[in-house]
Amino acid sequence: MEQDIRTYSPLTLAFLGDGVYGLYIRAALVERGNTRARKLHNEASQIVSAVRQAKVYDSFEEGGILTEEELDVMHRGCNAHVSHQAKNASSMDYHKATGLEALFGYLYITGRLERIEELIQMGLEKA
């Protein structure tokens, strides 16, 4: 029996989305061309930081590019109660990053891989 995706905790979606987001960012960086692994790692680390993810969250929220469903998932993730705090980010940035990760977890678990790629590209351009 398949579980209704709307019943998934936003933090569960964010857990999955954290890995999905990191993987797609790494793939996008490698697609730009062959370079040193250290340089790739440093660039990926900056892009997947909570501060940078919060900027992508803001651009998605203000840009009118998300569907109502996607926006709802992202907001649910942002408003979820998290029990810890990022070391190098404000509480608000951390919550926004959690919301963005929930969105990517939701898109992945619902099989919307093309949408993930589209949003990754938009996020790389905007943040």
Which of 4, 18, 58, 93 is the catalytic position? 18
Asked whether the whole model's pTM tops 0.75, one would answer yes
Number of domains the chain contains: 1
- pLDDT for the residue numbered 53: 95
Q: Is residue 7 part of a domain?
A: no
Answer yes or no: 72 catalytic.
no
- pLDDT for the residue numbered 2: 54
Asked if 97 and 86 touch (Cβ cutoff 8 Å), the reply is yes
**Which value, in Å, is the radius of gyration of the alpha carbons in the chain?**
14
Q: Is residue 84 part of a domain?
A: yes
Q: Is residue 112 part of a domain?
A: yes
Asked if 24 and 30 touch (Cβ cutoff 8 Å), the reply is no
Question: Which of the four pLDDT bands, split at 50, 70 and 90, describes residue 10?
Answer: very high
State the chain's mean pLDDT as an integer: 91
> Could you tell me the CATH number of the domain that includes residue 78?
1.10.1520.10
**Whole domain around residue 99: which residue ranges?**
17-126
- pLDDT for the residue numbered 1: 41
Torsion sign over Cα 39, 41, 42, 46: positive
Q: Is residue 8 part of a domain?
A: no
Model pLDDT for residues 58-95, shown as the tens digit of each residue? 999 998 999 999 999 999 999 988 777 777 888 899 99
Q: Would you give the distance in Å from CA 38 to the centre of its chain?
A: 23
